[in-house]
């Protein structure tokens, strides 16, 4: 396996977990995703796709170009970028590319990446949280009876994104919840991933009414400067929700 190099602004989207890396690469094969291969400082590039993965030897095999001179430059390169640009951005780099002969013809072989970038282009695309496995958010707010003390406001989240979370609460709305208010020390327990410790800011509050005449409020929170560790947990949970949504859409 091979570690990739990333830009500073991409670090928060790095996937380090080997099982997740394998799952992402297998998804690329399943959906026949086209990858842009860029090298020679961006002067050369071509489109390819992953043929197969061999985890036993730690190798990824991809289609090779038809131009021999082009392939010679590719094989001589020590910094090759593999990029899926449409939809969810997937990116990794390789320092060595070799040519191999498979039963179906020639291919290029690279080391299985140890980490890669997975970036949802629509950072604020919201994924609904499962009702059967609710995501709880605990927010320290000033106590109504004693403003110098704190109480914990417990909310069940209805959606999660890479940019923030949303929750519905019934009337009356806690007076501490106002647009622009920031709350530190908020705990969100993401099932099968872990608990985050975040600062949340109220981005918007929307009043709604059910058919029974009950007033509810949808509260949208955004993350405020989350740590790299917390960003990793959020990214992992959003990935889980996205996979579940895809499986549901395909009836799996």
Model pLDDT for residues 84-102, shown as the tens digit of each residue: 876 678 999 999 999 999 9
CA dist list (Å): 83 to 87, 162, 175, 228, 246:
12, 20, 47, 23, 21
d(Cα 212, Cα 189) in Å, to the nearest integer?
Answer: 31
Model pLDDT for residues 188-247, shown as the tens digit of each residue: 999 989 999 999 999 988 887 665 667 888 899 999 999 988 998 998 898 888 888 777
Cβ neighbours, 10 Å, residue 88: 17
Model pLDDT for residues 108-154, shown as the tens digit of each residue: 999 999 999 887 655 557 888 988 888 999 999 987 777 677 899 99
The structural domains of the chain, ordered by start, are 8-120 (2.30.110.10), 127-249 (2.40.10.220)
């Amino acid at each position: 396996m091979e570690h990739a190099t990333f830009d500073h602004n991409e670090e928060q989207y790095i996937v380090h977990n080997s099982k997740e890396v394998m799952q992402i690469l297998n998804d690329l094969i399943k959906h026949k995703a086209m990858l842009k291969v860029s090298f020679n400082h961006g002067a050369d590039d071509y489109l390819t796709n992953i043929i197969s993965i061999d985890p036993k030897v730690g190798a990824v095999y991809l289609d090779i170009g038809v131009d021999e001179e082009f392939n010679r430059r590719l094989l001589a390169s020590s910094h090759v970028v593999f990029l899926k640009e449409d939809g969810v951005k997937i990116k990794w780099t390789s320092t060595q590319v070799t040519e191999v002969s498979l039963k179906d013809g020639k291919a290029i072989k690279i080391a299985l990446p140890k980490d890669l970038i997975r970036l949802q282009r629509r950072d604020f695309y919201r994924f609904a949280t499962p009702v059967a496995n609710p995501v709880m958010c605990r927010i320290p707010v000033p106590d109504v009876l004693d403003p110098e003390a704190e109480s914990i406001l417990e909310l069940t989240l209805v959606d999660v994104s890479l940019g923030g979370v949303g929750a519905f609460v019934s009337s009356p709305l806690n007076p501490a919840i106002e647009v622009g208010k920031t709350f530190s020390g908020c705990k969100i327990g993401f099932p099968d991933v872990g608990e985050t410790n975040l600062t949340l800011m109220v981005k918007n509050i929307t009043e709604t009414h059910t058919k029974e005449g009950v007033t509810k409020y949808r509260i949208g929170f955004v993350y405020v400067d989350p740590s790299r560790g917390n960003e990793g947990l959020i990214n992992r949970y959003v990935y889980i929700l996205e996979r579940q949504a895809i499986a549901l859409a395909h009836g799996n």
